Amino acid sequence: MSAAQSSLSSADGGFRFDNSWARDLPGTYVAQPPNTAPAPHLLVLNRSLAADLGLDADMLAANPGWFAGGSLPQGAEPVALAYAGHQFGGFSPQLGDGRAHLLGEHIAPDQRRWDIQLKGSGRTAFSRGGDGKAALGPMLREYLISEAMAALGVPTTRSLAVALTGEDVWRDAGRLPGAVVTRVAASHIRVGSFQFWAARGEVDKLRALADYAIARHDPDLVGQDDCYLRFFDRVIARQARLVALWMGLGFVHGVQNTDNVAVSGETIDYGPCAFIEGYAPGTVFSSIDRTGRYAYGNQPLILGWNMAKLAESLLLLMDDPDAAVVALNARLDGVAGRYHTEWLAVMRAKLGLVGEDPADLALVQGLLAVMEATGADWTLTFRRLADAAAGNLSGLRMLFADVAALDAWLPQWRARLAPDAAQRMRATNPLVIPRNHKVEEALQAAEQGDIAPFHALLAQVTDPYRDGPDREAFALPAPSGFGDYVTFCGT
């Protein structure tokens, strides 16, 4: 892959597109422009992210068509990418970007390469009968949750903008304003990208994709004899860390299909995602997850399953299949252990523990058992533990119906606390997350033309660790009348 060494275009707004995917991987995409938006209007612009990318936010704001379809910034070469995927365990040999257009790869001032993609921008060759468009609510959800995750230190795609298209779309909920989100990603290479070519037996394209992914994400492996095996190691490591971070935050992705697993290790696709409140490992939010396959507590298991599907594809690239099967299986056998190590490190940090002790697993499990028995709020429990580390137990005890069980656990925890545990825990455990009821309030208001609640919530979730009197309404769980929360994929 020729990367930033190739000639770059100096584009309006500061975009510097290189478009290596379009250049280096012919046949793996369909060149296709986004649909023309009849009346584009830029509703939300991420000026901070624009600055990080070296973009001129004022010029971006003056060109809403770039973010809604129809007009394109200089140097963009829009394509729809091909990929497959296991969706809820069933294999779909052809999915692809059915409502998204990769405009190209922008080279930031630090020479890092970022995909710029429009989502909700109209039909493509992969739309499979859909209209390729999106409603405003799901696009604002992606913006809100992805930016919250970035503030929480979770590897994630980012959102640069949300634009109204000026036309309505029809969904089960009725007539809704149409919108496009501009997604920024380290890449859009998915496990399903490999599966697409492996399922077709097109080894040359599979190898080209693998070499491209390695050059883009693990360039130190280029040219090594065992590069595909070592690349697999890297993907496992990134995904194990990612899922451990999800679990530490009580985040439920909701559609952990192989087409939503990025080899970069970023969280991608914020459709039916949500955060648990009362701790319950079986929590499912997605309306289409009827078996609980992607429940909160199942996410580590699905991590291993998804890595097995990547291994099946990479096997086709290896010279000695018998030896490769042994090597790949050995790595798959180690996925659970790798995840467990990452998860325990996350939990030690959340509990403010000093060093490592073999008894830490039992300590964590003891707390989780007490939390599950009483349905204690996940986020507030760990935040109130930070207060408890500073000597204030009142807020923590209010979260537990069985205070005696909590009190029996506390001395074991105190014995393991770091000297500066309270300070460290407040910097690790957020006070504010995107609470489900607040997300719904903001999205419903936006659909009715009032964007102010969205901006108010965005300001809170992108500053997750700060204490303050203005935080209480955003830190508390949903009121009792909110009911069971159900999310939808947004298609």
Active site residues: 259
Backbone angles phi, psi at 358, to 5 degrees: -60, -25
Intra-chain end-to-end CA distance of the chain, in Å: 34
Give the dihedral sign, CA 58/60/61/63: positive
Residue 315 gets which letter from DSSP?
Answer: G
Tokens found for residue 254 = 């909701």
Closest by Cα among 273, 73, 75, 38 to 163: 38
